[in-house]
Amino acid sequence: MGRTRNMRQGWASVAIFAFALVMQTTILKAGKLEFQEHASEVILNSLQNQPERSFLKKLYTQLLFVPVWMHEKDLSSAAKDLFEYIKNDTTLDKNGKLYQDALLLESKARELYAGKGTLAQKIDLEFKISQLYEGYTNYAYLGSINWGAFNARISNLMVNDVSTEWVLHRPRANPIQMLENAAFGSSLKKQLQAAVPNAYHYKALQKELERYMKIRDNGGWPPVILHGKLKPGKSDEGVFALRERLSITGDYIPCENSEEDMVYDACLQKAVKHFQARNGLVTDGVVGPGTLAVLNKTVDERITTIRLNLDRIKWLNERHSRKHIIINIPDFKLYFEEDGKLMQTMRVITGKPNHPTPIFSDTVEYIVLNPYWNVPKSIIQKEFVPKLIRNPNAMKRKDIEIRRGWGKNAKIVDPSSINWRNYVDGTPMPFHFAQLPGKKNALGKVKFLFPNKFSVYMHDTPGKSLFKRSKRAFSHGCIRLQKPRELLKTFSTFNSNIDFDKAQKILKGKEKTHINLREKVPIDVIYLTAWVDYDGKLQFRNDVYGYDRMQLKSFRKW
C-alpha cells in the first residue's frame, strides 16, 4: 500500500512541481553543463516538500538531483531505452494505463524538443517519466499482489484457528540503482533484462502468458458442451468443440488415422489425457464433470492465473546453490534438482486446508532413521484427549507412550490414572506423548529435518494408499513422502557419511539413528497453481488452499 500511496502522491505533486518550475526557471541557451546545473537546481527546489520516502525524493537524492531522462536537446539514451522496453513488453495490456502513459509521454517529449521547450517543461516531463519508470519497475519486478492485504487475510485465518504463513523474499531488482548506473553510461535496457527473475522457469511462464494473450486476441476457445460423460468410442456433437479446444492449447495433435468426426477416437483420447496430466486431473481419458469444468475455464481466467503465479515467483527465494528441493503444494510433488535439471521427483501429501503447510524456505540439515513422533500439543488436545476419555488404553494401540515431562528421566504415566476431562478445555498438561519407532509410527521409518519455527518437516508414512489420490491434502502441515528411502539414497550419493546399505539394515530394526548432513540442501515450500515444468509444458493446478482467490481480491491492474 505504501508503494501505491507514494505513486499517488507523486502524480498529485506534478501540478505543484510545474508551478515551482515556472517561478524559478527561464529558457536556457547554454551548453550541456549549464543545462544540468540549472536543471539540478530546479529539481532540488521542486522536491523540497516531497516526503523523504517518496520515490522521486529517493531517486533524485541518489542521483544528486541530476536529470536522467531529459537532456538539453534530446531524450537521454536511458529514456529511449525505457520507452522501447515498455513498448516491446508483450505481457503488458496495450489498453492499460501504464502502456498508454508510455506512448503519451514519448509523444510529449518529441513535441517538446521539436518546439524548443522550456526548462520548466523539460523537468516537468522528467518527473513524469520517473513516475512511469517507478510504475513499470513495480509491475515488472514487484508485481500486482497486495501482500499486505493478503497477509491480513492470512491473519484472519489464524484467528479462526487455522495457523499458516507465507514467508516473502523481496525481489533483488533495485530500480534506483539501475537508473544511477544508466546515468553513468550503462545500458538501462540491459539492466532491465538482467533483473528479470530466472528461478522457477519464470521466463518460460512469461512466454506462455504471451501465447495465451495471443489466443485471447484471436477469440479464445469455444465452450465444450457434452451430453453426459464422454467415454472412448462414444459419439457426441460436442466432440468437434472438444477437438478445437484442445488444438488451440496444443494438446491435440492430428493423427493420420483419425476421421475427426463426432466419434471420441483414440487420437482425441490421447489429447484429453495430455490435457488432464497438465491440469493435475486423473489421466483416464474420460471427459466427466471435473475435466469438463477445467476445459471450460476461459482464456481470460487462465491469463489471470498465469499473471498471479508470475508475481508469486518474484517473491520466492531465488537460490544459487547447485542442489535444490522444491515442494509445490498445489501439485503435491517434490522436485529435487541439480544445476536446474530434475534429478528426482515423487508424490507428497501436504497439509489439509484447515491445517495448511506454510510457504517458506529452509535447509535440510539432518536425517533421522527410526524416528520417534513427538505428538504436537494441538493434536493431543483436539484428537487424543477425547479418545483417552472414551478409552484410557487408546494410545497403547498406537504404540504411544505418555510421560510426565520431558527428558530421559521423564516417567511413563498410566493413562487410566489421569482424569483426562480436566484437559478438554485446552488446559495445559504436564504430559509428553511420543510414538515409538516402528511400523505404526506416523512418521514411518525416515524423517528429513530442516529446523524451522513451524515444526514442519518431511517424513515417511505408514499410510501409503493416499498417494494414489490426485489431491493429497491430508496432513497436519508436515510433508509426507511417497518414496523416502529413494530420497535417502539420493542424499547418500553426495554425503560420504551416509552408507545407504548400512542405513537399510538400521531401518529393519527400531533403533533411532541421527545423521548430520555434510552437504546440506536448500528446500523451498512454494504455492504455484501455474508454472512451466522441466519438459517445457505449461501446468495448471487446483487452488487447494484458496490463496488464488484471496490474492485476486486485491490484484492490481496496470
Q: Which residues pair with 530 in a beta bridge?
A: 540
Distance in angstroms (rounded) separating the CA atoms of residues 551 and 530: 14
Beta strands in 393-486, from DSSP E residues, in sequence order:
400-404, 411-412, 431-435, 446-449, 458-459, 473-475, 479-481
Residue 22's pLDDT is what? 36
Q: Give whole-number Cα distances, 524 to 41, 184, 362, 476, in Å.
A: 49, 38, 6, 18
Domain range enclosing 245: 238-297
At 379 the pLDDT is 87
Cell 518414496 sits on residue: 483
Q: What angle do CA 389, 392, 397 make, to 5 degrees?
A: 120
Answer yes or no: do 30 and 87 share one domain: yes
CATH number at residue 453: 2.40.440.10
Q: Would you state the pLDDT for residue 10?
A: 43
Decide if 258 contacts 265 (C-beta within 8 A).
Answer: yes
Same domain, 418 and 502: no
Residues 123 and 258 in one domain: no
Q: Is 291 exposed, middle or buried (0-12, 13-18, 19+ CB in 10 A)?
A: buried
In-domain check, residue 60:
yes
Assess whether 96 and 242 both reside in one domain. Answer: no
Write the pLDDT tens digit of every residue in 442-475: 999 999 999 999 999 999 999 899 999 999 999 9
**Amino acid letter, residue 438:** G
User: Contact at 8 Å (CB) between 61 and 101?
Assistant: no
Same domain, 183 and 328: no
Q: Tell me the helices (H) and strands (E) count for the chain, helix number first.
A: 20, 15
The reported pLDDT for the residue numbered 15 is: 38
Co-location of 451 and 421 in the same domain: no
Decide if 126 contacts 105 (C-beta within 8 A). no
DSSP class per residue in 255-322: -TT---SSB--HHHHHHHHHHHHHTT---SS-B-HHHHHHHTS-HHHHHHHHHHHHHHHHTS----SS
> Locate cell 464433470: which residue?
289
Q: In the chain, how many domains are there?
A: 4
Q: For position 182, what pLDDT does the model report?
A: 93
The pLDDT tens digits of the residues spanning 395-411 come to: 988 899 999 888 778 89
Do the domain assignments include residue 441? yes
Picking from 210, 274, 205, the residue whose alpha carbon sits closest to that of residue 242 is: 274
pLDDT digits (tens, 9 = 90+) for 28-57: 344 577 888 899 999 999 999 889 899 999
Query: CB neighbours of 535 closer than 8 A, spacing ≥ 6?
Result: none
N- to C-terminal Cα separation, the chain: 15
Residue at 91 is within a domain: yes
- Residue 168 included in any domain: no
Residues 351/157, Cβ–Cβ less than 8 Å: no
Q: Is the C-alpha dihedral spanning 29, 33, 37, 40 positive or negative?
A: positive
Query: Are 127 and 98 within one domain?
Result: yes
Name the nearest CA neighbour of 299 among 538, 551, 60: 538
Query: Does 315 reside within a domain?
Result: no
For the chain, which ranges sit under pLDDT 70?
A: 1-31, 158-162
Question: Do residue 284 and residue 367 come from a single domain?
Answer: no
The cell numbers describing 497, all together, are 557419511
What's the CA gap between 417 and 96, in Å, rounded?
71
Q: Check: CB of residue 371 under 8 Å from CB of residue 457.
A: no
Q: How far apart are CA 126 and CA 115, in angstroms?
A: 17
pLDDT of residue 162: 63
The verdict on 124 and 265 lying in the same domain is no
| 106 in the same domain as 58 | yes
Shared-domain flag, residues 332 and 441: yes
Q: What pLDDT does 377 receive?
A: 84
Q: Are residues 291 and 355 in the same domain?
A: no
Assess if residue 77 is contained within a domain: yes
pTM over 0.85: yes
